């Protein structure tokens, strides 16, 4: 029981098992996967080479996986991660990563747009696994909320399109429709974020998690959505590149906060308080949760 935790350790508190390294996995995985998808589109438009996109996307995903490797307690047993595909989304993420690098190796070596397309498809599966990893974490209310999955998918798409824009816009090699696609995924991410936040505020998460999300919301809305949209609409190539980077960086910030600030535990609750001695039973207690819950 933590002395610093109010209510005798019963109230929700920020989990400490996963830190920036876990956030790094979601950051690298989302951005890398998104870049593979939108980089593939740019490749078809002639803006980027298939090999370069495969290398960049694979490197980002690899960096994320490397972060996780640094976090696990027994890194030399990492191969055991593949033992439970029946139910564990972490195992499935690992298996999908294997497939991704197998195909990606071919895409990079052969500079093959076809193989890059397959890699991008697998990357969609990879980021889906990451969303399901969060969803299966039943001890963390802000993660088990169903809309975390579309949020993870939407931010991966936004980060990826942002990075693709940042890579292609300065050289004038952006594929046709890339800026428009960027604006669309940016708008989707904003709407999904607002929807997710509304669900949390409606009693799906402890007050501390909601407060952390609300603190993030204004800078995320302004620097992560409004400003990038305005920059792209300006039509300037350097502004489009900056917009892409801002959209990607704001997604990284979102995931960092999701893991290190909003990941409050469930806490403990009593539906009723017991009768003790000659006393009677009383109403329940649920420290750290709002009235709405």
| Helix, strand, coil percentages, rounded to 5, for the chain | 70, 5, 25
Could you say whether residue 8 binds another protein (CB under 8 A)?
A: yes
Of the candidates 81, 173, 183, 227, which one interacts with another protein according to CB under 8 A? Answer: 81
- Is the backbone of residue 87 left (phi > 0), alpha (psi -120 to 50) or beta? alpha
Backbone region of residue 9 per phi and psi (left: phi > 0; alpha: psi in -120 to 50; beta: other values): left
In degrees and rounded to multiples of 5, residue 233 shows phi and psi of: -65, -20
Q: Which residues contact 120 (CB under 8 A, 6 or more apart)?
A: 36, 37, 39, 40, 57
Q: Is 285 in the site for another protein (CB under 8 A)?
A: yes
Task: Return the number of the residue (90 or 227) whose C-beta is nearest another protein.
Answer: 90
- Binding part of the chain for another protein, among 33-41, 138-146, 190-198, 206-214 by CB under 8 A, reads 138-146
Q: Which is nearer to another protein, 26 or 40 (CB)?
A: 26
Coil/strand/helix, residue 285: strand
If one asks whether residue 137 binds another protein (CB under 8 A), the answer comes out as: yes
Report how far residue 251's alpha carbon sits from residue 88's, in angstroms, rounded to the nearest whole number. 25
Stretch that binds another protein, among 33-41, 42-50, 129-137, 233-241 (CB under 8 A): 129-137
Among 20, 46, 70, 72, binds another protein (CB under 8 A): 72
Where are the strands (E) in the chain, listed by range?
A: 270-273, 282-285
Choose the stretch contacting another protein; rule: CB under 8 A; options: 4-12, 32-40, 41-49, 207-215: 4-12
Is 3 among the residues that bind another protein (CB under 8 A)? no
Q: Provide, rounded to whole angstroms, the least separation between the CB of residue 101 and another protein.
A: 18
Position 108 contacts another protein (CB under 8 A):
no
Q: How far is the CB of 203 from another protein (least distance, A)?
A: 12
Instruction: In whole angstroms, give the CA distance from residue 55 to residue 111.
Output: 10
> What are phi and psi for residue 251, nearest 5 degrees?
-65, -40
Interface with another protein (CB under 8 A), residue from 58, 62, 287, 288? 287
Q: Does 235 engage in binding with another protein (CB under 8 A)?
A: no
Q: Which residues contact 226 (CB under 8 A, 6 or more apart)?
A: none
Q: Which member of 4, 74, 278, 291 binds another protein (CB under 8 A)? A: 74
Q: What DSSP assignment string belongs to 178-193?
A: HHHHHHHHHHHHHHHH
Q: CB 61 → another protein: shortest distance, Å?
A: 17
Note the residues at the interface with another protein (CB under 8 A).
1, 7-10, 15, 17-18, 68, 71-75, 77-78, 80-84, 87-91, 94, 133, 136-140, 143, 263, 265-266, 268-276, 279, 281-283, 285, 287
């Amino acid at each position: 029981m933590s002395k610093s935790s109010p209510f005798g350790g019963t109230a929700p508190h920020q989990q400490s098992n996963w830190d920036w390294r876990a956030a790094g996995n979601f950051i690298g995985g989302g951005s890398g996967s998104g870049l593979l998808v939108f980089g593939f589109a740019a490749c078809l438009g002639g803006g980027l080479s298939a090999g370069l996109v495969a290398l960049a996307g694979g490197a980002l995903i690899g960096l994320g996986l490397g972060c996780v490797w640094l976090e696990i307690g027994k890194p030399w047993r990492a191969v055991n991660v593949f033992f439970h595909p029946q139910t564990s989304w972490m195992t499935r993420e690992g298996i999908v990563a294997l497939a991704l690098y197998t195909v990606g190796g071919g895409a990079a070596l052969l500079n093959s747009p076809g193989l890059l397309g397959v890699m991008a498809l697998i990357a969609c599966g990879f980021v889906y696994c990451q969303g399901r990893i969060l969803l299966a974490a039943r001890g963390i209310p802000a993660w088990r909320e169903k809309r975390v999955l579309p949020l993870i998918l939407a931010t991966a798409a936004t980060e990826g399109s942002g990075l693709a824009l940042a890579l292609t816009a300065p050289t004038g090699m952006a594929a046709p429709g890339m800026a428009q696609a960027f604006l669309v995924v940016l708008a989707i991410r904003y709407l999904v974020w607002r929807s997710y936040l509304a669900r949390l505020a409606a009693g799906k998460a402890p007050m501390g998690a909601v407060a952390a999300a609300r603190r993030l919301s204004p800078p995320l809305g302004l620097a992560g959505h409004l400003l990038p949209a305005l920059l792209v609409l300006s039509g300037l190539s350097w502004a489009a590149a900056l917009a892409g980077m801002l959209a990607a960086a704001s997604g990284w910030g979102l995931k960092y906060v999701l893991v290190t600030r909003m990941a409050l535990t469930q806490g403990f609750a009593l539906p009723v308080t017991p009768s003790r001695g000659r006393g009677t039973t009383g109403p329940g207690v649920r420290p750290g949760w709002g009235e709405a819950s």
